[in-house]
Structure 1
Amino acid sequence: MKKERSIMQYRGETCLNCHLPLDLSDQYCPNCGQLNSTKKLSFKDFFEEFFSGVFAYDSRFQRTLRVLLFRPGKISKDYINGKRMRYANPFRFYLSASILFFLLFGLTVDLNNSNQAEVDFEDQPPIFAPGLPDAERDSIRELIEENSLDSINKVLSQRGMDSIKSLPLSRIQDSIETEADSITENYLDNYVPQSEIDTMHFWNANKTRIELYSAFLDQTRIRNSEIAIDSLRHEHSAYNHWLYKKVVDFDTFKEEPNLFINYFVSKLPFIIFFYLPVFALFIWLLYLRRPFNYMEHLIFAFHTQTMFFILYGLAILVKIIIDSNWPVTAANFIFLFYLYKGMRFFYGQNRVKTILKFLILNLIFFILAIIAAIISLLASFSIY
């Protein structure tokens, strides 16, 4: 397609992109690199140019993947030495690999945890065991009308349907009434007016708000913050509304944890993307006497993490196919060996120094990973 568009009859004397004067012998603009052609685009030109770009990227992609897999540390060394056109950009390549990895990872996470649904006694009659006298049936139905459905559901979730069937009527009545009373007592016991909260220290005030909002939500099941804050006669501040919404979110995640897991996993590629620069800072400190600047350590960290995603992504694929955990176990040992070889080649130190720094680096990685995970979980929950 480019050959057709670059023939002499379509060449111009000015670059259409940067307006640099050109000779008819110039096939490309020496300033911006655009093809020297005045031919109008057709549908054929558009699609051919699109696929040409894809295949051109694939060529670099295949070369990058091949070197990354079988030559630990070489791609990073080539890149910092200026051999960059032959390889894909390390940051874009990392993002592509991480997104594919977490898509595969999502297939292996068991997100089908069935949660206890609220029980409607009109639709779920098994509690009325066969042979139960009519008088006792009527008594239980009166309990349903007198007590909140939430208290009955809590009794069912705590004891289980089968154990409830075997209980006498008096025990069922006591359990439901006790649960209903405890919900009311919890809400009343935790009630604190806004004026009193305003006099507390920050942490005590937050603890009091959370306890109160949780008790109120448990009793009333009101999820709208406007209604809840108004009912509690608290100030309609942005912080009060945000805190009540977080209490509601936490209650939702307790019932359906897969919602937050899905949300958090979807953000992990970007969380790790911002975590790696911090990790690269510690690599720089560890190799302070070596002739590498911070950016060169960062490139090595991105290439290594990309290899991690590729290796474990392949392990997950094999695990899905054969339904066994040994591919992931094998990937652990392969990656550790790969990391050692990569450090040895990239930094050019002897075996003893490389092994020692390898152990220190892994310790630093796990400590930072734990800290980053805690911060990321809190941040993800706060903006959910």
Structure 2
Amino acid sequence: MSHDKIRDHIDCLNCGKIVTEKYCPNCGQDNTESRKSFHYLFTHFVEDFTHYDNAFWKTMKYLLFRPSRLTREYLAGKRKHYVAPVKLYIFISFITFFLPGVLPEIDHDNETQREVRKAEAHKYDYNYEEADSILKASTGRKIPTIGNYSSVKEYDSIQKTLPAAKKGSGIMGKFEKRVAEINEKYTTKEIIEKFKESFIHNLPKVLFLYLPLFAFSLWLFHNKKKWYYFEHGIFTLHYFSFLLLNTMLFLTVSWLLKLMGDNGFLTFLEFILTCIYLGWGFTYFFKAHRFFYGEKRYISNLKSLVLFFVNSFLITVVLLLFIIYTLLYLH
């Protein structure tokens, strides 16, 4: 942008200070004409994208394959060539949130399964027993359900036969009845798909809410004079960004494998992929923790193990509450 026309006026449009050269000495804004041509917009976009692209790919490489390197570089003040931690987390969260809606659903159902789904989808033309008979006649199996009741009618009928002490009541009673309503409305496969969609859709928000708690657990386990909460927070942002990025890549590759078909070899590849995804997600934290905090291997591994189990328990509680919420408000 070195050929942009300098404004005739010497007052900065941003802060009002006197500007004698191209850039304002007070706020740094350029003193060029504010009305731009399409050529300016296009070239400015290319330059910004190229600059961000270089920083982005370097950040992604370190984030995926160099545990804690990105955090150490950032805290050492080398920030110009990397995406800022908060922007990085928001960007990856957005892509992870956006991805399930972009990838089209792949359906490898056989004709019988499609017929059952069709029967359940038209409840006014077919009832549950008719849909059940279709599957029983062709496969000898009943329609699988989530929970113990396939419909509200079945739930109410069974509840009437139970003694008062065994009848569903309170939150659990409402929960069982809600699950029965869901079974009545959707097939098991549709419930699982809707749950997965809702889970992945909201996972970034759940992790974001858990960020301060995870950073606090790191603060508890390390020297308070040597490490500030801010530094634990940056480590947490990068680690959670890695978890989301790892999940996003897993979902994408898994979708591509499903796109190729449904056979034993591809199922085996997906199993291997799942092992790599879970294994790297587990070992990454141990490596990142040891390299970042610079402790002896056995001390770092012990702390990492305790932190892993403590946070696994806490986040499991959060996710269980989220699962209950997802089921109760499944539309």
Question: TM-score, normalized by length of structure 2?
Answer: 0.71
2:127 to 153, 168, 171: 153
Residue 234 (structure 2) aligns with: 299
Please give the alpha-carbon distance, in whole angstroms, between the structure 2 residues aligned to 1:266 and 1:42.
40
CA distance in 2, matches of 1:53, 1:120: 49
Report the equivalent of 1:368.
Answer: 314
CA drift at 1:40: 2.2
Query: Could you tell me how far 1:272 is from its partner in structure 2?
Result: 1.4
Distance 1:105 1:342, change over 3 A: farther
Q: CA deviation at 1:371?
A: 0.8
SS of residue paired to 1:22: coil
Contact 1:11–1:36 under 8 Å retained in 2: no
The answer as to 2:34 corresponding to 1:35 is no
Amino acid at match of 1:333: G
For residues 107-145 of structure 1, give each alpha carbon's deviation from its aligned partner in whole angstroms, at most 9, with x where no partner exists: 598777755444899xxxxxxxxxxxxxxxxxxxxxxxx
Name which of 172, 196, 202 aligns with 1:261: 196
**Displacement after TM superposition at 1:354 (Å):** 0.8
| Counterpart in the other structure of 2:78 | 83
Q: CA RMSD in A?
A: 4.0
Distance 1:355 1:30, change over 3 A: same
Alignment-derived partner of residue 87 in structure 2: 92
The 8 Å contact of residues 340 and 355 in structure 1, kept in 2 or not, is answered as yes
Deviations 1:336-363 (A, max 9, x none): 4432222112111111111101211221
Shift in Å, 1:209? 7.2
Pick one of 201, 209, 217 that aligns with 1:282: 217
**1:171 is matched with which residue?**
none
State the match for 2:10 in structure 1: 13
**Residue from 52, 55, 66 that aligns with 1:57:** 52
Separation in 2, partners of 1:95, 1:120: 38
Q: In structure 1, what is the equivalent of residue 245 of structure 2?
A: 310
Aligned-residue offset at 1:35: 1.2
User: Larger radius of gyration, structure 1 or 2?
Assistant: 1
| Paired letter, 1:3 | S
**1:22 is the counterpart of 2:23:** no
Q: Which runs of 5+ in 1 are unaligned?
A: 122-147, 165-181, 191-202, 215-243
Q: Secondary structure at the match of 1:86?
A: coil
Describe the shift of the 1:254–1:78 C-alpha distance in structure 2 as closer, same or farther (beyond 3 A): same
Contact 2:93/2:244, CA 8 A, preserved across alignment: yes
Residue 73 of structure 1 contacts residue 300 of structure 1 at CA under 8 Å; is this kept in 2?
Answer: yes
d(CA) in 1 for partners of 2:209 and 2:49? 28
> For residues 87-109 of structure 1, what are the alpha-carbon distances to aligned partners after superposition, in whole Å with 9 as ceiling and x for unaligned?
21112212322343455567598
TM-score, normalised with respect to structure 1: 0.62
Preserved CA contact (<8 Å) 1:72 1:342:
yes
CA distance in 1, matches of 2:219, 2:121: 61
1:382 Cα shift?
Answer: 5.5
Contact 2:85 2:238 (8 Å CA) reproduced: yes
2:42 equivalent among 22, 39, 47: 47
Which ranges in structure 2 are unaligned for 5 or more consecutive residues?
A: 139-152, 162-167, 261-265
Q: Which runs of 4+ in 1 moved over 6 A?
A: 108-113, 182-185, 205-211
Using the TM superposition, give the Cα deviation of residue 285 of structure 1 relative to its aligned residue in structure 2, in angstroms. 1.2
The CA distance in 1 between the partners of 2:104 and 2:69, in whole Å, is: 32
CA 1:41–1:102: 2 relative to 1, 3 Å: closer
Three-state SS of the structure 1 residue aligned to 2:33 is: coil
Rate the CA distance shift 1:369–1:105 in 2: closer, same or farther, 3 A: farther
SS in 2 for 1:375: helix
Structure 1 residues 355 and 16 mapped into 2: Cα distance closer, same or farther (>3 Å)?
same
Identity of aligned residues (%): 25
